[in-house]
Chains A and B, each alone.
Chain A
Amino acid sequence: ETGVTQTPRHLVMGMTNKKSLKCEQHLGHNAMYWYKQSAKKPLELMFVYNFKEQTENNSVPSRFSPECPNSSHLFLHLHTLQPEDSALYLCASSQDPVSDGVLQYFGAGTRLSVL
């Protein structure tokens, strides 16, 4: 148990559906992250939130919409996705995103399949 919980663990959705991924951290951290892990590709950072403010959007398509209502919760709203968006989506949190040595704690991920 790392203190970062992601739900659902698995999600299958059609291209016209709207769904949301949820991440909750119980570590008292101030920064939260969304990563995408596709088959045979390195993890790609999608979004960073620090104290509920978005500090990084790594050129992510608008069909992915993050929301961070407070420092403990992070959502990723999905709509009109494409089959190539099928991947493992990982959430992480850290005390702060500034230090070189800041340790990110990851959740177990949501495995998304887009049909």
Chain B
Amino acid sequence: AQKITQTQPGMFVQEKEAVTLDCTYDTSDQSYGLFWYKQPSSGEMIFLIYQGSYDEQNATEGRYSLNFQKARKSANLVISASQLGDSAMYFCAMSSPFSGGYNKLIFGAGTRLAVHP
């Protein structure tokens, strides 16, 4: 069964430092997508970055990069130059097929990141 594991319930980082949030996944599918979302205290899930399983290059979006290691089934999020506004919950998710040829997102339990000044 498809599963996403985020082993870090909480992380602390100093402002302007880099931080890595861990994500491992389990799937038997050959084609899948990996996503990271940010959820501030307001509740909204904000898309950060996407990596396709066949993409050879690691995805980058501004200060966000995804360290994709397919053989290890890991998709860690790296945030460079942390800012106070980065304090939030971060969720790793994977697209997974369900009935009728559609895909759904399976989410991990999340990591709460606190950025200290």
Contacts and interface: CB of A to CB of B under 8 A. Distances in A.
A105 B95 contact: no
A61 to B, nearest CB: 19
Contacts, number: 72
Interface string A87-113: 010101000011111111111110100
Interface string B83-100: 000000001010100111
Given A100-B53, A108-B43, A56 B104 contact: yes
B58 interface: no
Mostly, the A contact residues are: loop
Interface string B77-117: 00000000000000101010011111111111110000000
18 contacts: A2-B44, A42-B91, A43-B93, A43-B107, A48-B102, A55-B100, A55-B102, A56-B104, A88-B43, A97-B103, A99-B103, A100-B53, A101-B33, A101-B52, A101-B95, A106-B37, A106-B44, A108-B42
Interface of B: 4, 31-33, 35, 37, 42-47, 50, 52-53, 91, 93, 95, 98-110
